[in-house]
């Protein structure tokens, strides 16, 4: 048993509804957060207790519902551009009676900022969409995060290819290169502190510096 398998063995068993969504994601090849990554994010939310959360990349609603599970008093705005995933997310959210707290916006996150801005400011921004556009998402949405807020970016190690893409195919290597550039830009940003945690597929935690 390696370290990751050991840590996964310590995770509490997910509910039937969660397992159903995980199976749905696997069947339809929809990327969702890895078990250790989502567990880490949920613990971060329990500590931070954000009231308003913005998620870039709803997919089937898995992470939004898990964030709500960790922080039941929160309101979540989440954006998804793929029509089928948007519809699947609405169904999953409805099945868990969470429509009152999770609002899904259908559209490209780079095109609906004016709509989202009306819902802010946010206490937590979670970026988990098109990997090559992370820096654009950060530029666009970080101003909507409160001074005390936190920004979380998933997949910042991208299957290990960000550290070493020698065995990656050309497409994966290209994505890894974009994420590598984002990571380097982010950790050197003069206005933020960022720590990358090697859990799940890599999670970056970013906090605004005090002015």
Q: Is 82 annotated as a binding residue?
A: no
Own/partner contacts of 43-50, CB < 8 Å, gap of 24 or more, are 43/70, 44/150, 44/152, 44/205, 45/70, 45/71, 45/74, 45/124, 46/70, 46/71, 48/123, 48/124, 48/150, 49/73, 50/74, 50/122, 50/123, 50/124, 50/149, 50/150
Q: Would you say 109 is a known binding-site residue?
A: yes
128 labelled ligand-binding = yes
Q: Is 33 annotated as a binding residue?
A: yes
Determine how many CB atoms are found less than 10 A away from the CB of residue 39.
21
Q: Is 155 annotated as ligand-binding?
A: yes
| 173 vs 170: CA distance, rounded Å | 5
Binding residues for Mg(2+), as ranges, are 128, 154-155
Binding residues for S-adenosyl-L-methionine, as ranges, are 33, 63, 80, 108-109, 128
Binding residues, as ranges, are 33, 63, 80, 108-109, 128, 154-155
């Amino acid at each position: 048993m390696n370290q990751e398998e050991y840590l996964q063995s310590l995770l509490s068993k997910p509910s039937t509804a969660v397992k159903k969504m995980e199976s749905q994601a696997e069947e339809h090849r929809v990327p969702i957060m890895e078990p250790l990554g989502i567990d880490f994010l949920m613990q971060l939310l329990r500590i931070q207790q954000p009231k308003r959360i913005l998620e870039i990349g709803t997919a089937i609603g898995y992470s939004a519902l898990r964030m709500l599970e960790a922080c039941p008093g929160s309101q979540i705005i989440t954006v998804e551009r793929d029509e089928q995933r948007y519809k699947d997310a609405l169904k999953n959210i409805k099945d868990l009676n969470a429509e009152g707290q999770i609002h899904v916006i259908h559209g490209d996150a780079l095109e609906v900022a004016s709509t989202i801005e009306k819902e802010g400011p946010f206490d937590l921004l979670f970026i988990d969409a098109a990997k090559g556009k992370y820096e654009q998402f950060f530029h666009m949405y970080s101003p909507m995060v409160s001074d005390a807020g936190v920004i979380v970016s998933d997949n910042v190690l991208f299957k290990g290819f960000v550290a070493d893409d020698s065995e990656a195919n050309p497409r994966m290597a290209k994505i890894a290169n974009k994420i590598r550039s984002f990571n380097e830009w982010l950790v050197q940003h003069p206005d933020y502190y960022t720590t990358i945690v090697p859990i799940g597929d890599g999670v970056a935690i970013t906090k605004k510096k005090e002015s």
